[in-house]
Amino acid sequence: MNIQFLADFLGGPLRPVMIGLALLGMVLAVAIWIMEFAGWTITRDGFVKNNVPWNATTIALIAVSAAIYIAGRPLQFQFIPGIGGFNPTMSLAPIFSVLFGLPGAIGVTFSMPIGDAISGALTLGSVAGFLSHTFVTWLPYKMVKEPNFKAPAAVVSYYVWGVFVGPIIHSIVIPGWLDFTHVVPTAVAWGAVTPAILLNHMITAIVVAPILMVILYPIVKARGLYWHDRYQPGSPAKTMPPQQAKAA
């Protein structure tokens, strides 16, 4: 699959700009993870404590999110040998992040280099895949307040950040890095990798998201695993309800 229009447009006059945006995105992703692992996050009130409880439940959510994402990596139809193709599992990234918050975002994002290492496919492209996933995980975690698909505003918020903005940035960072490092030819980076990313994270997610979110959100909410119920950034008194703290 190679869309010549994208190859000519993004890999032509816009190529220097797109590569610059890709490198900027990777630097921003590094800064985001340094901030979050240091215990801080961004809210409307500025930089505040993210209040993530690093306990058994948090570690389990990270591990489960990562394991599912890694297990689904081989289930794909290759478009670009050694790079990727159609993989429905990729559409799960914002779902885990919105449901489990930072633990879900960490699990999915950091599963990328782990999965590549396990499969023996760890390359320069893995760097971009890892950092670029930040935008399809961290952005939905920060911007989607509640994935209650019975509320129109919640549906719009999820689609804007999890299915549109995040994947768009993702589809710039990975091809830009692959083009910059000459892992693949420019025409392949922008004409094949970009549409493959948009297929997995945008087009597939449009169908998958409402089905899985409607099923999973009530279950996660009822079990006390929904991140807004477990910790509230910037509000130490609401880090975790007492009954959930005991369970964790």
Using a 10 angstrom Cβ sphere, with 0-12 exposed, 13-18 middle and 19 or more buried, the burial of residue 40 is middle
Residue 46: inside a domain, yes or no? no
Number of residues that this document lists for the chain: 248
**Average pLDDT estimate for 105-124:** 76
211 within a domain of the structure (yes/no) = yes
Give residue 70's pLDDT.
85
Long-range contacts of 141-150 (CB under 8 A, 24+ apart): 141/97, 141/98, 141/101, 141/102, 141/104, 141/105, 141/227, 142/41, 142/42, 144/94, 144/98, 145/228, 146/228, 147/98, 147/99, 147/213, 147/217, 148/217, 149/210, 149/213, 149/214, 149/217
Position of tokens 């159609």?
86
Q: Is the model more confident about 233 or about 23? A: 23
**What's the token pair of residue 228?**
């807004």
- Alpha-carbon distance 227 to 146, whole Å? 10
Q: What is the CATH number of the domain that holds 188?
A: 1.10.1760.20
Number of domains in the chain: 1
- With a pLDDT cut of 70, the percent of the chain lying above it is 85
Q: How confident is the model at residue 244 (pLDDT cuts 50, 70, 90)?
A: very low
Residue 247 is predicted with a pLDDT of 44
* d(C-alpha 145, C-alpha 16), whole Å: 36
- Say whether pLDDT at 196 is over 80: yes
Q: Where are the beta strands (DSSP E) in 185-231?
A: none
Mean pLDDT of the chain: 86
pLDDT beyond 70 at 102: yes
- Mean per-residue pLDDT for 16-26? 96
- The beta strand positions in 14-156, using DSSP E, are 40-43, 46-49, 77-80, 84-86
Domain that holds residue 119: 4-39+51-247
Residue 202 lies in a domain: yes
Residue at 161 is within a domain: yes
Q: To 10 degrees, what angle do helices 102-119 and 134-143 make?
A: 170
Lowest pLDDT segment from 96-105, 115-124, 135-144, 173-182: 115-124
pTM: 0.86
- Is residue 204 in a domain? yes
Say which range, 4-8, 76-80, 163-167, 227-231, has the weakest mean pLDDT: 76-80
Query: Could you tell me if residue 123 is inside a domain?
Result: yes
Lowest-pLDDT choice from 94-98, 147-151, 156-160: 147-151
Mean pLDDT for 110-127 is 71
